[in-house]
């Protein structure tokens, strides 16, 4: 879509009838604001949605050194971006440019509008999504500032957490940005204090944990002390699909996620074989839209909220969270997915987050622009990553253990790789060692057929090998297969943990009322579409189980 077309979607003008219709949801007369008065400020957590009836409102970016006007809302316009639906804090401020009147709508009333009026819902949601895209693509918008060294694992961790959670930020590299020294002095910190996170002229945090960062930024929502109909652990495609269907069908639903929405799929820069997206879609876009849908229907998504144990109180599932909190639910969906295995190579652990990576997104690509890199793996995720990295790196070495790329990779992707000039395929090859000082600078490889050893000078290794399910938090009542994937279905009727006369549902585990979907499930097809299908299907079984009770 052309930029002017995107702006037209982002800033529509409502008719008088639509303004009055939205006014009825406000429940009161329009509020009057004097020139210079704030309707909301950057960082506000209890966001209100404003529909401009008269006058003008400036939307201002106050996160940089000087305030900048992003746009001016006139009568018939409305404020807001996706954070109004997801519950995250405001990223801009809204200031009355002249005396004005505006209808003030709460987040609960906005959700009611989105669910009850399809026409207004389409206009508003498309505008909110387009506005966030414009901000993300803008070279003028600063957002948070992360100041830290490219050689620091904590700097990478903070950038990775913010990027995966789609928080708008700018990274200032200690080694490469000339403005760093002045900024550190301005904030009253030294290089030894980095990485630091700042907003505008205010220092927020020094080397925060992911949880501290999430709580300071307001993106972590506390869990409520109630009994949920359905608790979902994991927010990959399966977990998000289940959240959308469960919440839309009236089930009280909570999603508990350790890092960020999207799972492994969320790190994919191009999914081309997902039904309905012939030109492809990035994993982060898919996750963004799914989170927006789940929030729209009232699902509560809490990030980062690691679940460390599961126990049972009669028929209820009790989830123990890091920090001592608990979540109680009538039904549980295990959707924790799987993660890529660590490379068992000398030197690997030392360079993780500083030369060794398990995803290929703009965050990682920024670290290896115009460099030679290595990618290990022969599946579709590896193929997508190789093609993406080839657009940024000088050369990509794709290493596979076998000799046939088409054996585990879709044909279209394998052919694309073989026809990309700066991708070199190394068959029958493994990495034997990694070396470097402050960061990775070379690897040693071995060809298993010829016995040839080589040293490749590279700045980064991307690993996409195998899959280890995230099931170490599960108790013995939840049966797993030999590779620790969760078993489901009718074969569990003979399990000593199965307590009902009926057979288990297709996605039900050895504990009644506990289900599993997506990559974590034994025998699942490791594809985005199948994970979405299983997640949505599980909700039907949840309904059946709740009827029994």
DSSP 524-538: ---SHHHHHHHHHHH
Structurally, at CATH architecture level, domain 227-339+469-548 sits in 3-Layer(bba) Sandwich (3.50)
Non-local CB neighbours of 99 within 8 Å, separated by 6+ positions: 32, 33, 34, 35, 55
Q: Percentage of the chain with pLDDT > 70?
A: 99
pLDDT of residue 167: 92
Contact 522, 532 (CB under 8 A): no
What is the helix (H) or strand (E) element at residue 100, kind and residue range? strand 100-105
pLDDT tens per residue across span 235-274 = 999 999 999 999 999 999 999 999 999 988 888 888 888 8
Reported as a pLDDT band with limits 50, 70 and 90, residue 4 is low
pLDDT of residue 2: 41
pLDDT of residue 222: 80
Structurally, at CATH architecture level, domain 144-217 sits in 3-Layer(aba) Sandwich (3.40)
220-265-261 Cα angle (round to 5): 10
Non-local CB neighbours of 86 within 8 Å, separated by 6+ positions: 291, 292, 295, 301
**Domains 3-134 and 348-463 in one fold:** no
Determine the straight-line distance between the first and last CA of the chain, rounded to whole angstroms.
50
Question: What predicted TM-score, i.e. pTM, was given to this entire model?
Answer: 0.91
ω into 195 cis (within 30 of 0): yes
Contact 285, 271 (CB under 8 A): no
pLDDT of residue 549: 81
pLDDT of residue 449: 94
What ranges do the domains of the chain cover? 3-134, 144-217, 227-339+469-548, 348-463
CATH superfamily of the 348-463 domain: FAD/NAD(P)-binding domain (3.50.50.60)
Q: Is the pLDDT of residue 399 over 80?
A: yes
Q: Which has more pLDDT, 419 or 219?
A: 419
pLDDT of residue 376: 97
Non-local CB neighbours of 314 within 8 Å, separated by 6+ positions: none
Q: Is the pLDDT of residue 3 over 60?
A: no
> What's the chain's average pLDDT?
93
CATH fold of 3-134, please? Jelly Rolls (2.60.120)
**pLDDT winner (highest mean) among 307-311, 361-365, 439-443:** 307-311
Q: Is the pLDDT of residue 507 over 80?
A: yes
**Token pair in block for residue 306:** 């690691």
pLDDT of residue 1: 36
**How far, in Å, CA of 298 to CA of 19, rounded?**
24
pLDDT tens per residue across span 122-168 = 999 999 999 999 998 888 898 999 999 988 999 999 999 999 999 99
Reported as a pLDDT band with limits 50, 70 and 90, residue 195 is very high
Flag the least confident range among 20-24, 474-478, 508-512. 20-24
45-50-53 Cα angle (round to 5): 165
pLDDT of residue 172: 93
């Amino acid at each position: 879509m052309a930029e002017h077309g995107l702006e037209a979607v982002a800033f529509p003008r409502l008719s008088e009838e639509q303004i009055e219709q939205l006014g009825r949801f406000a429940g009161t007369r329009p509020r009057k604001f004097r020139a210079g008065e704030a309707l909301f400020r950057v960082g506000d957590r209890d966001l209100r949605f404003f529909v401009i009836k008269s006058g003008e409102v400036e939307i201002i970016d106050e996160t940089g050194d000087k305030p900048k006007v992003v746009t001016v809302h006139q009568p018939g316009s409305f404020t807001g971006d996706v954070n109004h639906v997801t519950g995250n804090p405001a990223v801009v401020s809204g200031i009355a440019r002249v005396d004005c009147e505006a209808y003030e709508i709460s987040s609960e009333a906005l959700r009611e509008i989105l669910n009850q009026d399809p026409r207004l819902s389409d206009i508003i949601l498309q505008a909110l999504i387009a506005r966030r895209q414009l901000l993300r693509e803008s070279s003028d918008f600063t957002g948070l500032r992360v100041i830290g060294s490219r050689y620091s694992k904590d700097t990478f961790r903070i950038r990775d957490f913010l990027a995966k959670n789609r928080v708008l930020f700018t990274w200032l590299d200690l080694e490469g940005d000339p403005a760093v020294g002045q900024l550190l002095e301005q904030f009253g910190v030294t290089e030894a204090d980095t990485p630091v996170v700042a907003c505008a002229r205010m220092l927020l945090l020094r080397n925060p944990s992911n949880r501290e960062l999430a709580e300071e930024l307001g993106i972590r929502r506390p869990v409520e002390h109630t009994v949920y109909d359905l608790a979902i652990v994991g927010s990959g495609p399966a977990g998000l699909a289940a959240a959308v269907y469960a919440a839309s069908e009236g089930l009280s639903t909570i999603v508990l996620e350790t890092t960020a929405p999207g799972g492994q799929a969320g790190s994919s820069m191009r999914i081309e074989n997902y039904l309905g997206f012939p030109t492809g879609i990035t994993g982060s876009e898919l996750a963004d839209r799914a989170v927006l849908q789940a929030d729209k229907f009232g699902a509560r998504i809490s990030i980062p909220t690691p679940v460390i144990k599961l126990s049972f109180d009669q028929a209820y599932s009790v989830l123990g969270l890091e920090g001592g909190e608990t979540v109680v639910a009538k039904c549980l969906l295990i959707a924790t997915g799987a993660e890529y295995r660590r490379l068992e190579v000398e030197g690997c652990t030392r360079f993780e987050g500083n030369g060794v990576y398990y995803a290929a997104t703009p965050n990682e690509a920024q670290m290896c622009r115009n460099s030679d890199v290595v990618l290990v793996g022969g599946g579709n995720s590896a193929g997508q990553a190789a093609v993406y990295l080839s657009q940024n790196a000088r050369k990509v070495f794709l290493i596979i253990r076998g000799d046939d790329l088409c054996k585990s990779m879709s044909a279209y992707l394998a052919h694309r790789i073989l026809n990309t000039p700066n991708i070199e395929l190394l068959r029958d090859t493994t990495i034997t060692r990694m070396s470097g000082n402050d960061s990775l600078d070379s690897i040693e490889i071995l060809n298993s057929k010829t016995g040839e050893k080589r040293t490749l000078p590279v700045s980064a290794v991307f690993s996409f090998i195998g899959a280890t399910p995230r099931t170490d938090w599960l108790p013995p009542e939840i049966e797993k297969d030999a590779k620790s994937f969760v078993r489901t279905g009718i074969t569990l009727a003979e399990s000593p943990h199965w307590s009902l006369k009926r057979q288990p549902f297709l996605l039900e585990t050895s504990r009644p009322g506990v289900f599993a979907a997506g990559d974590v499930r034994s025998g699942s097809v490791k594809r985005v579409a199948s994970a979405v299908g299983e997640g949505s299907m599980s909700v039907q079984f949840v309904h059946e189980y709740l009827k029994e009770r």
